[in-house]
């Protein structure tokens, strides 16, 4: 199922109290419970004036339905196409190293067969 990032314009979001954040979270969870297992909230990131939420859902319309039922803004919904993290660099470096070794071995074998 696709993963989505939802950008929510929320002036003053960075100044919300722990109690306010808990209330928002509880409202979101209640709506999710009502909607069933077809949508899952993974996490949210709070900045000064926006909230970025990460969800797994079958489509953008399901995300919009959750926002409408919860009374949350959903100003931009973007489907995640790929994810990277620090281990991505390690895997890329290892793959390049393995390619170099394979190339060196091919050159050596070709030289021995002549």
Range of the structural domain that residue 66 is part of: 3-79
pLDDT value, residue 20 = 96
Taking the CA atoms of 80, 85, 87 and 93 in sequence, report the sign of the dihedral they define.
positive
Write the CB contacts of 34 (distance below 8 Å, at least 6 apart in sequence): 69
Biggest distance spanned by C-alpha atoms of the chain: 76
Cβ proximity of 11 and 49 under 8 Å: yes
pLDDT value, residue 49 = 98
Q: Tell me the pLDDT tens digit for each residue of 2-58.
A: 999 999 999 999 999 999 999 999 999 999 999 999 999 999 999 999 999 999 999
Same domain as 101, residue 60: no
Q: Tell me the pLDDT tens digit for each residue of 71-112.
A: 999 999 999 999 998 988 887 666 665 556 555 544 554 555
Same domain as 52, residue 23: yes
Same domain as 58, residue 10: yes
Task: List, in sequence order, every residue forming a beta bridge with 27; answer none if it has no partner.
Answer: none
pLDDT value, residue 89 = 87
Same domain as 67, residue 43: yes
In three-state secondary structure terms, 83 is coil
| Model confidence, pTM | 0.77
Cβ proximity of 79 and 60 under 8 Å: yes
Same domain as 102, residue 73: no
The span from the CA of 10 to the CA of 28, in Å, is: 15
Total tally of structural domains belonging to the chain: 2
């Amino acid at each position: 199922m696709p993963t989505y990032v939802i950008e929510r314009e929320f002036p003053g979001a960075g100044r919300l109290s722990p109690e306010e954040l808990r209330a928002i979270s509880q409202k979101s969870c209640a709506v999710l419970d009502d909607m069933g297992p077809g949508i899952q909230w993974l996490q949210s990131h709070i900045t000064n004036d926006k909230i970025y939420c990460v969800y797994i859902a079958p489509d953008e319309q399901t995300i919009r339905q959750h926002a409408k039922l919860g009374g949350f803004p959903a100003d931009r919904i973007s489907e995640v196409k790929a994810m990277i993290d620090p281990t991505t660099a390690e895997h890329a470096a290892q793959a390049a190293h393995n390619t170099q070794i394979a190339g060196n071995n091919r050159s050596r074998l070709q030289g021995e067969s002549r």
